[in-house]
Amino acid sequence: AQSVTQLGSHVSVSEGALVLLRCNYSSSVPPYLFWYVQYPNQGLQLLLKYTSAATLVKGINGFEAEFKKSETSFHLTKPSAHMSDAAEYFCAVSDRGSTLGRLYFGRGTQLTVWP
């Protein structure tokens, strides 16, 4: 089974600072990779996904993530944090080549943005 590790259950940054949320996966075959965001009392919203081709993926709200096969990583970044970015972020993977699509989630990282 897939395993996803998100380093840091809580990350705090100042408004305008760089946001870096870390995600590592365990499988030897690179999976499909996803970042979701969850605002309080809401469902999960897709930020971006990596399925093939370009290793630098741009998503919504100014976020991007880079797939690094050698490091089995898919870290999420944003150059300048905004107060509205405060939320919980989940990294998820699904098996490449599978038609099933079940997602394996990391434990999440709570992002706090200070004014």
Partner 1 sequence: DSGVTQTPKHLITATGQRVTLRCSPRSGDLSVYWYQQSLDQGLQFLIQYYNGEERAKGNILERFSAQQFPDLHSELNLSSLELGDSALYFCASSVGGGRDTQYFGPGTRLTVL
Number of residues that bind partner 1 (CB under 8 A): 25
Look up residue 12 and give its two tokens: 């705090």
Q: Least separation, in Å, of the C-beta of 105 and partner 1?
A: 4
The residues that bridge with 32 in the sheet, in sequence order, are: 94
Instruction: Point out which span in 15-23, 45-53, 61-69, 73-81 binds partner 1 (CB under 8 A).
Output: 45-53
Q: Least separation, in Å, of the C-beta of 113 and partner 1?
A: 23
Residues 52-91 that bind partner 1 (CB under 8 A): 90
Residues 22-41 that bind partner 1 (CB under 8 A): 32, 34, 36
Backbone angles phi, psi at 20, to 5 degrees: -135, 115
Among residues 10, 60, 102, 114, which is the contact residue for partner 1, using CB under 8 A? 102
Q: Let me know if 93 is exposed, middle or buried by CB neighbors in 10 A (0-12, 13-18, 19+).
A: buried
Q: According to the binding rule CB under 8 A, does residue 100 interact with partner 1?
A: yes
| CA gap 18, 20 in Å, rounded | 6
**CA 28 to chain CA centroid, nearest Å:** 19
Look up residue 98 and give its two tokens: 């599978």
The residue ranges that bind partner 1 (CB under 8 A) are 32, 34, 36, 42-46, 49, 51, 90, 92, 94, 97-108
